[in-house]
Structure 1
Amino acid sequence: MSTDTQRRTAFIGGLRDLAIFLEANPAVPVPIDPAIITYYPEQGTDEELCAEIDRIAALCGTTVDPRLLPLGLYTVSRCFGAVHVEWTAILSTAHPDVPQPRHEF
């Protein structure tokens, strides 16, 4: 789990630095599509992975996306403007040959 204070501080600082840089440099392009940041929990059983995603869902006030369950992806997400953050557990039922779903923003 990456709730380590130093890692959190570095990640949040990096996001702030990016925002400050982009504001100061309007000629630098930004993506047309939303930026996606994905967190994958550490290894564990499917039950442990789902419990971690359920915990995060409760903290974010969201629920698991049922459309992704048939692909073996246990995912919650939240959008912050054009930045889409998702927390995804790849379950043992996931198949490597199944194409990743398109995100709808």
Structure 2
Amino acid sequence: AIPYFGKALVEWVWGGFAVDNATLNRFYAFHFVLPFILAAVSCLHILCLHQTGSNNPLGLNSNTDKIPFHWFYSVKDMLGFMVMLLLLMMVIMFFPYLLSEPDNFLPA
């Protein structure tokens, strides 16, 4: 599908001429490691954005419009987490069989 180097690229990705156990192991390892790589890149991106600030093409100082991230958004996120945890606990305590398998109630 890719001219000139498509066949070589497929053989390099597969690790041979066909999909084999080594190919599956490589793809499984890639599938396992990729979320950690994405999390690290996201943290690096947020760190760089926090250090330099976002794009400011006009060059205006907008520090007066900013609010502190840590206390405002941290408390806001914790409040949302607590509300969702409370809703989950209410479902678990008041309707314990709501999410269970119906086959569990069939007589043996």
- Relative to total residues, which structure has the larger helix share, 1 or 2? 2
Asked if Structure 1 and Structure 2 have the same fold, meaning a TM-score greater than 0.5 normalized by the shorter chain, the answer is no
TM-score (normalised: structure 2): 0.27
- Relative to total residues, which structure has the larger strand share, 1 or 2? 1
Name which structure has the greater RCO, CA cutoff 8 Å, separation 6+.
1
